[in-house]
């Protein structure tokens, strides 16, 4: 049953929620021709469901960029040196065969360990959102999963929420490497520019006012206020919480599918089940965000590799 409001109904949009807490497909819209009212309706649906999906959207790279610009400023493809397109430096290639950062190698196997993560949190101003377009999609396998970090926070006990509201964590671009080794060139590119930032463990969403967990196994290093041992236990508990299947949705990709997620309120999981030898190629644009604000009123700041956040 759709939770779509009257304005969206007038536009002919059909919003189909995918799970109890996160994810909705939006039908009845052409992303190449969006009136301002449709942009407003899509943003409203994104804020409610955290990630929205579109089918049958044969976008060119220019049209992909135009769609992103309707919601904010597209960023460079990646703050490290991962491959982007020379004519479209805002678009990051995620490809398991063409040398992109696709989480796979030429046989379809993963190059890096897949862990829940929010995009680019090692920067002091992580992206507001990410828009991923399916270009080459295997006939099966390769689904992506998202989790609602607002629900994950809300479902913690009051005592735990009160404790973590005042904590801060270091995030860095030191990926956990599967089998101890990434493709040599990609590993050098990703680590060529060390990046570290301090973020609140709980951030306040700038548009909804909701509190969300803001840690993830991929990029969070440690909690500033605790010893490494203490912080490790706290982070393990929070990682288990955010990975609860009850807070997640799973998207079955098709060619010309588009996923648009709120990077301030979600984490996602890169698939590792692409069948051996099959090709999966995606293109991603990230949209500029703001300096996160913590539940305690603190603001994120850079440690290494970024401009310090202004007070």
Kindly name the residue from 171, 268, 279, 280 that is annotated as catalytic. 268
The answer to whether the CB of 254 falls within 8 A of the CB of 137 is yes
Q: Which of 147, 137, 101, 130 is nearest to 268 (CA)?
A: 147
Q: Which two tokens stand for residue 286?
A: 């990230």
- Active site includes 222? no
Kindly name the residue from 64, 119, 199, 280 that is annotated as catalytic. 119
Torsion of CA 173, 175, 180, 184, to 10 degrees: -60
- Active site includes 21? no
- Active site includes 62? no
The answer to whether the CB of 87 falls within 8 A of the CB of 154 is no
Q: Which of 91, 75, 47, 63 is nearest to 287 (CA)?
A: 75
- Active site includes 296? no
Q: Which residue has 């990029």 as its token pair?
A: 219
Parallel, antiparallel, or unpaired: how do β-strands 293-294 and 202-204 relate? antiparallel
Kindly name the residue from 64, 117, 171, 264 that is annotated as catalytic. 117
Q: Which two tokens stand for residue 244?
A: 């609860």
Q: Write out the catalytic residue numbers.
A: 117, 119, 268, 284
């Amino acid at each position: 049953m759709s939770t779509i409001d009257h304005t969206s109904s007038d536009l002919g949009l059909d919003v189909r929620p995918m799970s109890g807490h996160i994810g909705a497909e939006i039908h009845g819209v052409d992303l190449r021709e969006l009136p301002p009212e449709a942009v407003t309706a899509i943003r409203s649906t994104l804020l409610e469901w955290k990630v929205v999906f579109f089918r049958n959207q044969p976008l060119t790279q220019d049209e992909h960029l135009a769609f992103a610009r309707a919601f904010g400023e597209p960023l460079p493809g990646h703050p490290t040196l991962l491959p982007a397109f020379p004519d479209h430096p805002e678009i990051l290639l995620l490809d398991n065969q063409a040398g992109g950062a696709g989480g796979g190698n030429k046989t379809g196997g993963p190059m890096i360990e897949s862990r829940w993560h929010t995009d680019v949190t090692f920067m002091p101003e992580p992206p507001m959102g990410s828009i991923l377009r399916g270009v080459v999609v295997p006939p099966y396998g390769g689904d992506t999963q998202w989790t609602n970090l607002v629900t994950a926070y809300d479902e913690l006990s009051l005592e735990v929420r009160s404790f973590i509201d005042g904590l801060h964590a270091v995030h860095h671009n030191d990926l956990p490497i599967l089998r101890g080794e990434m493709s040599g060139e990609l590993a050098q590119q990703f680590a060529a520019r060390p990046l570290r930032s301090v973020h609140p463990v709980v951030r306040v969403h700038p548009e909804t006012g909701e509190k969300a967990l803001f840690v993830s196994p991929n990029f969070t290093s440690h909690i500033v206020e605790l010893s490494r041992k203490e912080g490790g236990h706290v982070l393990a508990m929070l990682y288990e919480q955010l990975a609860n299947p009850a807070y997640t949705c799973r998207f079955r990709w098709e060619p010309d599918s588009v996923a648009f997620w709120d990077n301030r309120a979600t984490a996602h999981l890169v698939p590792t089940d692409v069948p051996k030898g099959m090709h999966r190629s995606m293109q991603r644009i990230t949209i500029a965000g703001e300096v996160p604000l913590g539940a305690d009123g603190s603001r994120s700041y850079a440690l290494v590799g970024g401009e310090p956040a202004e007070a």
